[in-house]
Structure 1
Amino acid sequence: MVHYIQKKTGMINTERLSLRLLNNTDPEFILELVNMPEWIRFIGDRNVHSTEDAQNYIQNALLDTTSQYWIVSLKEDKIPIGLITFMKRSYLLHFDIGFAFLTQYTNLGYAYEAVNAVVETILSDPSHEKIAAILLPENKKSIRLLQRLGLRFETEIKKKEQVLHLYSVPTDYLKINRLTSRFFNLFTNTNQQTPPLDDLYSICLQKAIIAKKEIDRTEIYDLEEFLNPRKIILTDGTLTEFREYEVSEETRISNHLAQRISRYHKDGYLNGVYFSENGTKLFQFTKDENTWKIASVIWEDSTSPVT
């Protein structure tokens, strides 16, 4: 769970990290970061060769009212390890997200954890309809991170004799991704955790319909009818070590309506016997006041592999 105060302090806290806005106490870290071989190769030489240069770099960044810069630090010892930016570039239609981390802190999941938290704060601002990112096509690690966040290749851009790749994603798509993940996570009780089943009421419309397709019939539930029997079996030992997650999806968004075909896998122990199944869920969503909610879900289980 991400906790943040976006407007006043810019503070964002995740499980392992603390993010704050760039300030004048950061020149030593900036000096180290922008002179990394990876920064110079993939971002460019900023001609920052002293703490004075770094201070000027910071001052210029702080004067840019269209941009935000977050310093990423380890939560326990406050050591700065990375920088995340969110800025409006003159040649891009939408704001661009960027990130860089000290070499010794890469491949540890910190970059994804931090950037995902910043994206979460961006999604709370309805003025952002898309999130963009530009980078060199050979920057494979950053491309993989962007793809994991949900951004997809859009086009090539020529800038200062360089060919850059533009990645982007609609913020509505990211919101629906998160809403779908919350639905699947409602029922997880692995490692003796208590599933957050009552969250169903906050992610669905009050009169949402949930249906299960059997071979010869369709069972239809309101939220309470669907939830009550699952509360029992997920907490009384009948169904244990249960998890359900999305394997692939197809999402279509039209203004304030959306539909998602979700192929999923689930497994666990029912009365002590292990089981594993796949299936398909069809979600329908509606959007009111910048908030997406589930209007209906229909699912069909299958023991065949999900493709």
Structure 2
Amino acid sequence: MIITVDDTPFYLKLINTPTWHQLIGDREIRTLEQAKHFLLAGPIKMQEKYGYSSYIIRLNATSEAIGICGFFKRDYLADADLGYALLPQFTGLGYAKEAVIASLNYAKQTLGLTKLLAITSKNNQRSMSLLASIGFKFVEIHSKDKVLKVFSIDL
């Protein structure tokens, strides 16, 4: 499901987990109003402009939101990049891999993308392993605000 302002409470919870702060970065968003503004100016605007953005990962059995997965267009990367994050209690259970594979299929079949990038912090071994397991190849080191590893896959 495409992320909407109705997902603001979940998004606020997700981006303030210790794992998010450590591996993605502290966005310094602490209130529902700040989170809503970020969603409107970021993912929701990106969806309108590019036709893709973040999607909520939900458990099939309960519809509980457990993470996000989707595509981002960053000014410092030539192609869209894949990003994902889960609440800590749902990591290591295969949900990220399932969401990434579904997202790659969506990117190719529905969006018509032919190439995707993915970026990780230099110490995010779990994400690097997941990306390698589905065919992403290391491309380069990139420095924006911090050192990032860039991976690529042809769809």
Stretches of structure 1 that go unaligned for 5 or more consecutive residues are 1-19, 172-307
Q: How much does 1:85 deviate?
A: 2.4
Of the three residues 114, 120, 125, the one matched with 1:135 is 120
One-letter amino acid of the structure 2 residue matched with residue 31 of structure 1:
L
Aligned to 2:74: 89
Aligned to 2:84: 99
Partners of 2:142 and 2:150 within 8 A in 1:
yes
Q: How much does 1:125 deviate?
A: 4.7
Aligned to 1:34: 15
Partners of 1:85 and 1:99 within 8 A in 2:
yes
Aligned to 2:4: 23
Write 1 or 2 for the structure with the bigger share of strand.
Answer: 1
Aligned to 1:166: 150
Q: How much does 1:145 deviate?
A: 0.8
Aligned to 1:154: 139
Residues 201-216 of structure 1 mapped to structure 2, 5 A cutoff: none
Taking the aligned partners of 2:138 and 2:128, their CA distance within structure 1 comes to: 9
Q: How much does 1:128 deviate?
A: 2.0
Q: Which has the higher contact order (CA 8 A, sep 6+)?
A: 2
Q: How much does 1:129 deviate?
A: 2.3
Partners of 1:94 and 1:128 within 8 A in 2:
no
Normalization by structure 2: what TM-score?
0.92
Of the three residues 85, 106, 110, the one matched with 2:95 is 110
Taking the aligned partners of 2:119 and 2:99, their CA distance within structure 1 comes to: 18
Distance change (3 Å), C-alpha of 1:23 and 1:100: same
Residues 207-246 of structure 1 mapped to structure 2, 5 A cutoff: none
Write 1 or 2 for the structure with the bigger share of helix.
Answer: 2
One-letter amino acid of the structure 2 residue matched with residue 47 of structure 1:
E
Aligned to 2:45: 63
* Structure 1 counterpart SS, 2:6: coil
Normalization by structure 1: what TM-score?
0.48
Identity percentage of aligned residues: 32
Do structure 1's residue 124 and structure 2's residue 109 form an aligned pair? yes
How many positions carry a matched residue from both structures? 151
Q: How much does 1:92 deviate?
A: 1.1
Partners of 2:70 and 2:103 within 8 A in 1:
no
Taking the aligned partners of 1:129 and 1:115, their CA distance within structure 2 comes to: 16
One-letter amino acid of the structure 1 residue matched with residue 12 of structure 2:
L
* Structure 2 counterpart SS, 1:25: helix
Partners of 2:139 and 2:150 within 8 A in 1:
yes
Aligned to 2:30: 49
One-letter amino acid of the structure 2 residue matched with residue 46 of structure 1:
R
